[in-house]
Structure 1
Amino acid sequence: MARITRTKVSNTKTAGAKASKIRPKPTAKAPAARASRPRGTRWPKPVPPEAVLEIFQRFAAANPHPRGELLYKNPFTLLIAVVLSAQATDAGVNKATPALFALADTPEKMLALGEDKVRDLVKTIGLYRAKAKNIIGLSRALIERFGSEVPRTREELETLPGVGRKTANVVLNNAFDQPTIAVDTHVFRVSNRIPLAPGKTPEAVEEGLEKIIPDAYKQHAHHWLILHGRYICQARKPQCWRCLIEDLCRWPEKTPDPAP
């Protein structure tokens, strides 16, 4: 809210009149975290079921066994890597974690390492202080409440410090082969652009994707969408000329080939 500076006015009526004209500047609303819509266009309707099937068939044919790009050794180190990746790049996390995991690849070793040492090892990653604290906290929780094992349900995972729904879904999918869909910024953007399951929140997109993606493709769906968003359907300038589903995508303004 804008700061209002008041000055003394001898005439109380005049003061009241002037004060009544003073209005705090409206707080700017945070933009909806959706793919931006070109001016003068309407959001396209979601692609039909037959197009959804074709989209994932093409993704599967091009990359039958997609994998996440975070480096890890076991479910515990995967959990740590995903916690560290919040508001950070996978590449940045991968530069820091080899040294960390060489010293601590179990909850007991991580707890013994201590918050100060963990903080020093991950200080190249954004929000490293809070993340180091969460890593120690979740390591302690795993030992005390889960027998040092990473739990296999979203509800249990979300009780751990620093673990939200997206992190839980990534761990369940990668470590335990559960067909969960983790909606990060890439999945969110791609789903809204095509559009597959448009929504104003990650939870809404996740729910929509779970409804429309055929069961045969749910295990790898979020990997395909993440990689597609990271390398092809990028935020500022999607590389539509390289897109293998360009003819099925309903995004109203495709980026032309820069080298026709």
Structure 2
Amino acid sequence: MSPKVIPESEIVATVIFSCVSFLLMGLVLVLFFYFSRKKIVQKEIENKNLEIQYQKDQLYAIIVTQEEERKRIAQDLHDDISSKLNIVSLNSHLLTAPNLTEAETMEITGNIIALTTKALENSRKIAHNLLPPVFEKFGLNAGVEELCEEFESSKAIKTYYKNEIDFDEKDIDRHLHIFRVLQELMNNSLRHGKATEIWVAFKNINGINTCNYEDNGVGFDSKSIENQKGLGMKNIDSRISFLNGTIKIDSEVGKGIAVIFTF
């Protein structure tokens, strides 16, 4: 029995059909990869835009904080130091008046000395708030110890501080951000949290430097977006970001606050 001969037209039709099918499949694959890649690129752009916006928000928070600090310093200098120096200047001119008695001279001189002494003390306080001498000279551990002592001196709050990290003195610029974060947290605990006890502990957990912070204050709803938008919280987030660290804040109304941040 002779084999069946397939007509040439069928062969051509089959080849054409196969080619068209492959072309269509290729086109579908190209379109699939094109739109998939387009979605990936769009997602990357969105993530990049979010990252840029986050960085802008951080930068804005830092700038606003710096401006507020400059205003506070300028106000302190104007209200306190400048006013005292103006009175010193007036008293100095009084000393040039003729026919002053010895008692008047002594009184004016005493006023000048007293005002000058107060101006020096207040200027030291302003400088101390900018960068505590103990921190600059002895490092973060000593700076936090002094910070705790200052808060306890008010007799309104008790602090418990523990440190298990050997801080490198070469990282003092980075340590200043850690100090400011704790300063902000402690101020919030005292002013807003009405806390009577604060716990601060530095630990190295699995090679990661960690700070645990707690207070027994009135607390707040940490899930509230409004509470996360405060200038103080933005400032803290900015400093933690600069340290390439992470921060987690847990708080409930009536249950104080618990903060863990890495650096």
In the superposition, the TM-score normalised over structure 1's length comes to 0.27
Which gives a bigger RCO, structure 1 or 2 (Cα 8 Å, sep 6+)?
1
In the superposition, the TM-score normalised over structure 2's length comes to 0.27
Higher helix share: 2
| Larger gyration radius, structure 1 or structure 2 | 2
